[in-house]
Amino acid sequence: MSSEAITDGWVEQAEAALAAAGRKRGGARRALLELLAAQECALTAVEIEDALRARSARPVSRASVYRILDELEALALVQRVETGQAMVRYERVCEHEQHHHHLVCDECGLVMPFSDPGLERAIDSLSTRVPLTVSEHEIVLHGACRDCAA
């Protein structure tokens, strides 16, 4: 399916990284990995929990969702996205995939990904001139989406 093509073995990459870190396998985590692999953009913990319950996929408790996301974040397999919407969002990080950022509609809460080479260049150059060893950056543009602006 298309989602597998897009993620290009991200689930396997994640499992390998976890194994290398001495972790055992588990069904809850596997289900969560597969869900994230199929997403185009960031989800909240609750959205993840609901999706796993709804999809007849293995239900995973809220606590496990957070714990698993934390582990994945520590291994840089997942990234937090702060959209200013009270809850944190999470999405997979895939090396072979183009880095993207987010557009947030402050009216309806819609979150969309976007990417822009010029912006990446500006950030990369900036990163070398700043009193911080930059590990990550996150750009969020706020505004009104097409439907809401209409």
Binding site residues, a second copy, CB under 8 A: 80, 82-84, 88, 103, 105-106, 112, 114, 116, 118-119, 121-123, 125-127, 129-146, 149
131: Cβ contacts below 8 Å, ≥ 6 apart: none
Task: Measure Cα distances from 131 to 36, 126, 140 in Å.
Answer: 34, 10, 22
Site string for DNA, 20-39 (x = CB under 7 A): --xxxxxxxxx---------
**Nearest residue (CB) to a second copy, 4 versus 82:** 82
**DSSP 8-state symbol, 41:** S
Report how far residue 140's alpha carbon sits from residue 102's, in angstroms, rounded to the nearest whole number.
5
60 binds, among a second copy, DNA, none (CB under 5 to 8 A by kind): DNA
CB of 45 to a second copy, least distance (A): 14
137 close to 123: Cβ distance less than 8 angstroms:
yes
**Nearest residue (CB) to DNA, 38 versus 43:** 43
CB of 56 to a second copy, least distance (A): 33
92 close to 37: Cβ distance less than 8 angstroms:
yes
**DSSP 8-state symbol, 58:** P
Which residues contact DNA (rule: CB under 7 A)?
A: 18, 22-30, 44-46, 58-64, 66-68, 70-71, 86-88
